Chains A and B, each alone.
Chain A
Amino acid sequence: GQSLEQPSEVTAVEGAIVQINCTYQTSGFYGLSWYQQHDGGAPTFLSYNGLDGLEETGRFSSFLSRSDSYGYLLLQELQMKDSASYFCAVKAGYSTLTFGKGTMLLVSP
């Protein structure tokens, strides 16, 4: 099976940088994804890392180290609208994606 660990909650202020870590245990690893979910809404895809290294998409970046079974999501220039839950997810097979329990990010003024 697969298991993922991420912090339950992170707080930061507007304009700051925050890093959300994710460690995983799985077999047949294909890649690590990140999703954002605002309260009451459905998750939306943010990024995917299939290979080691950093992927950048605007203010958000995601990093993967396959040898360490570790990844992180980096959010820069935080805005109030970034307050949401963030999930890492492991693609460990052709058809399925296993999610972590999520990290709630609270951005304050």
Chain B
Amino acid sequence: SQTIHQWPATLVQPVGSPLSLECTVEGTSNPNLYWYRQAAGRGLQLLFYSVGIGQISSEVPQNLSASRPQDRQFILSSKKLLLSDSGFYLCAWVSGSAGELFFGEGSRLTVL
């Protein structure tokens, strides 16, 4: 069966520090992968999606970037975090004609 893992689960970072969140999918090949962000009490905002290795589409301009170095690995990065980057970051892959999203456990980031 397919599984999706994210790490770290929780992190607290100072403003201006770098960020790297990792997402790995198992049990499937060439998945479409997504990074969403959810601010406290808010909806899910699509940040990036990838249809294959090295292929990244950005939905929202910001100081974040994404990379897909391997088929089943998706990384979210920042060189310098802002306070507004705090939130719950969710990696997901899509399955089926309905576009059903399967989410990872999420990474909760607090920028101080």
Q: How far is the CB of A109 from chain B (nearest CB, A)?
A: 24
Q: For residue A84, which residues in chain B have a CB less than 8 angstroms away from its CB?
A: none
Number of interface residues of B (CB under 8 A): 24
Interface range for A: 20 to 34
A66, CB-defined interface residue at 8 Å: no
**Which residue of B57, B59, B100 contacts A45 across the interface (Cβ within 8 Å)?**
B100
**What is the bound-complex CA distance between A97 and B97, given in angstroms?**
13
**What is the bound-complex CA distance between A57 and B43, given in angstroms?**
24
Q: For residue A42, which residues in chain B have a CB less than 8 angstroms away from its CB?
A: 90, 103-106
**What is the bound-complex CA distance between A98 and B99, given in angstroms?**
11
Q: How far is the CB of B31 from chain A (nearest CB, A)?
A: 11
B102 contacts A100, C-beta separation under 8 Å: no
Say whether chain B's binding surface is mostly helix, strand, loop, or mixed.
Answer: strand
**Chain B residues at the A interface, C-beta cutoff of 8 Å:** 32, 34, 36, 42-46, 49, 51, 57, 59, 90, 94, 97-106
**What is the bound-complex CA distance between A41 and B51, given in angstroms?**
26
Sorted nearest first, the 8 A-B pairs with minimum C-beta distance are A48-B98, A101-B43, A42-B103, A99-B44, A91-B99, A45-B100, A99-B43, A42-B106
A97 contacts B99, C-beta separation under 8 Å: yes
Q: For residue A101, which residues in chain B have a CB less than 8 angstroms away from its CB?
A: 42-43
Q: For residue A11, which residues in chain B have a CB less than 8 angstroms away from its CB?
A: none
A47 (CB) vs chain B CBs: closest residue: B98
B45 (CB) vs chain A CBs: closest residue: A99
A97 contacts B101, C-beta separation under 8 Å: yes
**Which residue of B49, B97, B100, B103 contacts A95 across the interface (Cβ within 8 Å)?**
B49
**Which residue of A33, A50, A96, A100 contacts B43 across the interface (Cβ within 8 Å)?**
A100
A102, CB-defined interface residue at 8 Å: yes
